[in-house]
Amino acid sequence: MTDTNGILYVGIDLGTSRSAVSASNGQRHVVDSYVGWPVDMVARKILKRSVLVGREALENRSMLDLRRPLERGLLKEGSERDAEAVRQLLKHLLSLVGVEDEAKPSARVRAVVGVPAEALRVSKQQLRNVMKGLVDGLLIVSEPFSVAYAVDALLHALIIDIGAGTTDLCVMNGRYPTESDQRTLLNAGDWVDEQLFKLIQAHHPEANFSLFMVREWKEKAAFVGKAKAPVLVTAPIKGKPTQLDITEELRTACEGLVPPVAETMVDLIARVDPEYQEKVRGNVILAGGSSGIAGLDKALQEALKEIGGGRVQAVKDPIFAGCDGGLAIATDADESDWEKLSS
């Protein structure tokens, strides 16, 4: 399972809605960031498992105490269950790339974990505790930094990672980003879902739908600007499946992201050394699942016109950019960069 020098390097993107892992043995996987425990003995009998992770947990949610360990970009603190949820998620990701037995191979696993910038500030220690016993070397980095590493945008670039819980912005100056190079907004995919939910509810008060359905509708058709086609979905009204046109609601919800992200983008660029601002404006990189909103790159590029114009490009592989960057950092890191977790 290890490469030639006996160490397995792993890059992990720990996300609010999805987490991805990429390892030096060529394995690459993505899971939904959900962990659930059967609520009672009936659920336990049906599920035949003490804990479920990923899509499986999501699909069986009616039978589970379901947790999203990184809601709002923070590793939730307080309850045992939440800490255990993060641990189960990380264990699951490591098992997907072949790190099975906690006791033995952990001595040879080195992991770079990318977390939302906010979590980086709040709970590095918590993450360290969770990773103890799972890996022997650890490096915690901010998510946009690992994306920058993946797309080789380490100098004169601005990364905008629009995920589920947070939008993380980070200016790259050719060195490790500091606090002042980064910003975190709570306007991201989850926020769009909430807005969309309220808008549809206001327009179709009799329709019955859940936040999970709303997210699925959004992911199929999200856009800003001009609609390519009407967005039609089906939801029950008094039990009868009914077609709803949610084109305007979807546009409004998605467009709500543009002003806060554009404002923060412009603000960060204005703080760059004046001689490099033009280069950064020409090298804005959009990542994260919500970069899949059609027309978002154009809308942000439009906002750059106000400060002299520039170029906004979306990464090709928003699902794996973060963990691939983490893996590249792991293989490039010096011996002294690693935090040793083994006793």
**Which residues would be at the binding site for ligand ATP (CB under 6 A)?**
15-18, 33, 70, 73, 116, 143, 163-166, 188-190, 215, 218-219, 222, 288-290, 292-293
Q: Which of ligand ATP, Mg ion, none does residue 133 bind (CB under 5 to 8 Å by kind)?
A: none
Minimum gap (Å) between residue 83 Cβ and Mg ion: 20
Cβ atoms of 165 and 71 within 8 Å: the answer is: yes
Tell me which residue has its CB nearest to ligand ATP. 189
Minimum gap (Å) between residue 2 Cβ and ligand ATP: 28
Q: Which of Mg ion, ligand ATP, none does residue 97 bind (CB under 5 to 8 Å by kind)?
A: none
Q: How many residues bind Mg ion (CB under 5 A)?
A: 2
Between the alpha carbon of residue 341 and those of residues 25, 86, 132, 224, 229, the distances in Å are 22, 17, 6, 45, 53
Minimum gap (Å) between residue 166 Cβ and Mg ion: 8
Cβ atoms of 288 and 163 within 8 Å: the answer is: yes
Q: Which of Mg ion, ligand ATP, none does residue 24 bind (CB under 5 to 8 Å by kind)?
A: none
Nearest to 161 by CA among 153, 169, 171, 150: 169
Q: Which of ligand ATP, Mg ion, none does residue 215 bind (CB under 5 to 8 Å by kind)?
A: ligand ATP
Q: Which is nearer to Mg ion, 189 or 310 (by Cβ)?
A: 189
Cβ atoms of 302 and 227 within 8 Å: the answer is: no
- Any contact of residue 163 with Mg ion (CB under 5 A)? yes
If 0-12 CB within 10 Å is exposed, 13-18 middle and 19+ buried, where does residue 139 land? middle
Q: Which is nearer to ligand ATP, 187 or 301 (by Cβ)?
A: 187
Q: Which of Mg ion, ligand ATP, none does residue 195 bind (CB under 5 to 8 Å by kind)?
A: none
Minimum gap (Å) between residue 214 Cβ and ligand ATP: 9
Beta strands in 58-181 (DSSP E): 64-67, 109-115, 137-142, 155-162, 167-173
DSSP per-residue string spanning 204-259: -TTB---HHHHHHHHHHH-BSSS-SS--EEEEEETTEEEEEE-HHHHHHHHHTTHH
Q: Which is nearer to ligand ATP, 114 or 310 (by Cβ)?
A: 114
Handedness of CA 274, 276, 280, 283 (dihedral sign): positive
Cβ atoms of 154 and 172 within 8 Å: the answer is: yes
**Tokens of residue 102, six digits:** 């906690």
The whole-angstrom distance between residue 243's C-alpha and the CA centroid of its chain comes to 31
Minimum gap (Å) between residue 51 Cβ and Mg ion: 23
Number of neighbours of residue 82 by Cβ within 10 angstroms? 19
In the window 12-41, what residues touch Mg ion (CB under 5 A)?
15
Minimum gap (Å) between residue 220 Cβ and ligand ATP: 7
Q: Which is nearer to Mg ion, 11 or 15 (by Cβ)?
A: 15
Q: Which of ligand ATP, Mg ion, none does residue 96 bind (CB under 5 to 8 Å by kind)?
A: none
Q: Which is nearer to Mg ion, 15 or 295 (by Cβ)?
A: 15
Cβ atoms of 173 and 186 within 8 Å: the answer is: no
Binding segment for Mg ion (CB under 5 A), chosen from 81-89, 100-108, 155-163, 333-341, is 155-163
Minimum gap (Å) between residue 20 Cβ and ligand ATP: 8
Minimum gap (Å) between residue 142 Cβ and Mg ion: 10
Question: How many whole angstroms separate alpha carbon 118 and alpha carbon 103?
Answer: 32
List interacting residues with Mg ion (CB under 5 A): 15, 163
